[in-house]
Structure 1
Amino acid sequence: MLCDSPPKPKRLTLSIANYRVIRILTRPNRLQATERRIVIALVTDSASQLSPELAAEFGVRIAPIIVNIDGVEYREGVDLTADDFWSRLGDGDIPEITTSQPSPGTLSEIYRSAVEGGATDIVSVHIGAEHSGTINSALVAAEMVDVEVHVVDSGTASFGVSCCVWEAGSAIAVGASASEVVGRVEEIRPSIGTAFILSALEFARRGGRFDPSLLPDSEPGECEGVAVLSGYGGHLEVVAVGHSVDELCDQIVECFLSPGRTIRAGVCLADPATLMFTEGIEERLQTAPVEVDLVRYRLGPSIAAHTGPGTAGGFWYCTDI
């Protein structure tokens, strides 16, 4: 009498949150198991103006933008802080300031560090290609590492990039795959809005980042009032003109709440003189009739170089999309 042949190996794949467990069953009552943990690292650049709280919560690695002031190069957030930058403007003179993207080498070092830390995938979210060459650097750097790097063009700048990072980090935290994280960012991206004021128009003119038709020919005065700029994506328009701190805060917050639904919002603090705007906007958002998840971020050199002192406002996006 012939014995039954031993059972053939059976391969089972179980997906649990962001873990994938592969088991090989070789014979009854004996199990060999191999576990591969999916770890997604999140990377951005310092032009995102990401707040320290969000960076810590999601373990975000940040590539510094290069800021050149009167011929001297600095790395934003490394050897040039926001306070350092604003103190250099205290004498009233406007220095020659330029900015440039991180090199592919810098980004590849960050990617390798993530891999050494256990990352199996990387999601790299950056300032929009129309504003900076950082996306190109990230694409080149992605070819220098052995794991898949998902490079995401946020299509925006400043804390608008952080809105994308915020949503990406939230998706990773609940177990989304890298491709699902990218998809989620693409879903919320059209809802990212901004509203702000510019007081140092000479900075805005020099920076060339704003449509000249939005900038008055002279600095804002008490009679003319200060314009509130707002919009989505790359489209901005003057939506109001205010003549006092309270009036301008009301007008800016009205833009934040215009979707009429739950939002996540970042309110900027630029130079110390703008604190009254920051606090005024925050107070109004904290008592808003809709739910607002609120953080404060510092307006640092890579963005302030194009907006100057006296900037106030922020960004928001809808979470229930």
Structure 2
Amino acid sequence: MTADDTTPTPTSTTSGGSTVGIVTDSNSQLTADLAERFDVEVVPMTVTVDGIDHLEGVDLDADGFYGFFDGRPPEVSTSQPSPGSFAIAYRRLVDRGCTEIWSIHIAEAMSGTVASAQLGAGEVDVPVHVIDTGSASFGVGACVWAAGVVRDRGGDVDDVRRRIESFVGRLGTTFMVGVPLLVERGGRAGDLEIPGEAISVLAMNDGDVRVLEQVSTVEDTIDVMSTYAASWVEREPGGVTVAIGTADEPSRPLSDRLAAALTDVPGIDDVVHYRVGPSVGAHTGPGTFGLFVFPTIR
């Protein structure tokens, strides 16, 4: 390509000959490396802090968000991107030469994002396949990762739907929240009571939070989480990957210790790291750390 050639650089093509672009929402907590590797358009969620709206990853990153917790939890809420925001992202991909789009998102049961994406899809003249992962946070990011591999190997939208449906059923997550009050405010806990006198290691299934185990020290939380991740190896003889999420700097040493506990565990192929950004941190707070474990994506 010469300096004067303005033809858009194509993304990967499917076996059907379409040039496929991938879109997700910022709740996916997709790392910059994965977004770049698969040329993903990330549409920002709105995070409202003490009445002021911010766009996740645009004018509010993880460090800025946790900086609002200055001795008291601020009033925080999240909302899905607008249909117009999705339409803008879709048009960017069309302008780059995409003739088909896979739009992969947080569970419809947890957010209005899927509905918003479907409305935005009507604003462009190429097929947009909106996919509800049934997951949240880096669970969505892992689905985007899997979709990128399917696309780059020439798969079509039916292939990626099947892959994600199978994948989500084989994905686990466990974590410790820094501010339990935010979980209760967010409505994810249902009737769950999180006692203040113990440390609760939580898990999430189908959008509902449950107590995996209650422990007395942070060291015990690392033992519970690492045991949980290692147990996935028995279910997945082909190997697993663990993604460790870190909210803020005080939680980083805990994430590092969790990663160290998983190093050289047979069957764990890789440990990757991501930040717990504002749209997830709004429901968990500073001091949060945890993991997702899933079949290694090949």
Instruction: Using structure 1 for the length normalisation, give the TM-score.
Output: 0.83
> Residue 320 and residue 138 in structure 1: after superposition, are their counterparts in 2 closer, same or farther (change >3 A)?
closer
Alignment of 1:24-39 (within 5 A): 37-39=17-19
The code of the aligned residue for 1:274 comes to: S
Unaligned runs of 5+ in 2: 1-12
Measure, in 2, the Cα distance between the counterparts of 1:121 and 1:179.
13
Measure, in 1, the Cα distance between the counterparts of 2:14 and 2:159.
11
Q: Among residues 229, 241, 245, which one is paired with 1:256 in the alignment?
A: 229
State the partner residue of 1:93. 72
Larger-gyration structure (1/2): 1
The code of the aligned residue for 1:111 comes to: Y
Please say if 1:308 is aligned against 2:288: no
Alignment of 1:1-321 (within 5 A): 18=14, 37-89=17-69, 91-216=70-195, 219=196, 221=197, 224=198, 226-260=199-233, 261=236, 262-319=239-296
Given that 1:263 and 1:292 are in contact with CA atoms closer than 8 Å, whether structure 2 keeps it comes out as yes
Measure, in 1, the Cα distance between the counterparts of 2:282 and 2:276.
10
SS at match of 2:155: coil
- Tell me which moved more, 205-214 or 57-66: 205-214
Given that 1:100 and 1:132 are in contact with CA atoms closer than 8 Å, whether structure 2 keeps it comes out as yes
Given that 1:163 and 1:316 are in contact with CA atoms closer than 8 Å, whether structure 2 keeps it comes out as no
Measure, in 2, the Cα distance between the counterparts of 1:186 and 1:19.
21
Given that 1:44 and 1:61 are in contact with CA atoms closer than 8 Å, whether structure 2 keeps it comes out as yes
The code of the aligned residue for 2:255 comes to: T
Measure, in 1, the Cα distance between the counterparts of 2:35 and 2:262.
22
Given that 2:242 and 2:268 are in contact with CA atoms closer than 8 Å, whether structure 1 keeps it comes out as no
Measure, in 2, the Cα distance between the counterparts of 1:170 and 1:320.
8
User: How many correspondences in the alignment?
Assistant: 282
State the partner residue of 2:8. none
Instruction: Using structure 2 for the length normalisation, give the TM-score.
Output: 0.89
Given that 1:286 and 1:292 are in contact with CA atoms closer than 8 Å, whether structure 2 keeps it comes out as no
State the partner residue of 1:26. none
1:245: Cα distance to partner?
3.0
The code of the aligned residue for 1:297 comes to: Y
Measure, in 2, the Cα distance between the counterparts of 1:19 and 1:177.
7
Aligned-residue sequence identity (percent) comes to 38
Unaligned runs of 5+ in 1: 1-16, 21-36
